[in-house]
Amino acid sequence: MQRIDVLYFAWVRERIGLPRERVETDAATVAGLVAELAAREERYALAFADLASLRVALDQELADFDAPLEGVREVAFFPPMTGG
C-alpha cells in the first residue's frame, strides 16, 4: 500500500470538488489509480470519463497514463494547459 498526494486542477478540480487529497493505493500505474478513483463516485467517474482530455504529472513532471507509480509521492490530474 502506497500513500500518494493526488492534486486536481481547473475543471478536474471543479468536477471532483476538491483541490487535493491523500490516497492509499495498490495501483501499479497511473491508469490503475485512475480506475480506482473513477470507481469511487459519480463525480470521479465524470472527471475521468475521457482520458484523452486529461494530462497527468508525477512529482511535477508530465507523464503518461501507463507510467509506474512506484516511488511517486505526488500525482496531479488536469486538462491540457492554456498558459501564455
Partner 1 sequence: MRISVQEADFDAGAEANAFTAGLTGVGAVVTFTGIVRDNGGTLAAMEIEHYPGMTERAIGAMVDEATQRWALADALVIHRHGRLEANAPIMMVATASAHRADAFAAAEFLMDYLKSRAPFWKKEIGADGAEWVAAKDEDEAALGRW
Q: Which residues bind partner 1 (CB under 8 A)?
A: 7, 9-11, 13, 57, 60-62, 76, 78-84
* CA–CA gap between residue 24 and residue 43 (Å, rounded): 19
Beta carbons of 68 and 1 less than 8 angstroms apart:
no
Which C-beta is closer to partner 1: that of 41 or that of 61? 61
Residue 23 C-beta: closest distance to partner 1, Å: 18
What does the DSSP assignment read for 5-29? EEEE-HHHHHHHT-SEEEEEE--SB
* CA–CA gap between residue 14 and residue 50 (Å, rounded): 16
Residue 61 C-beta: closest distance to partner 1, Å: 8
Which C-beta is closer to partner 1: that of 37 or that of 75? 75
Length of the chain measured in residues: 84
Residue 45 C-beta: closest distance to partner 1, Å: 19
Which C-beta is closer to partner 1: that of 20 or that of 29? 20
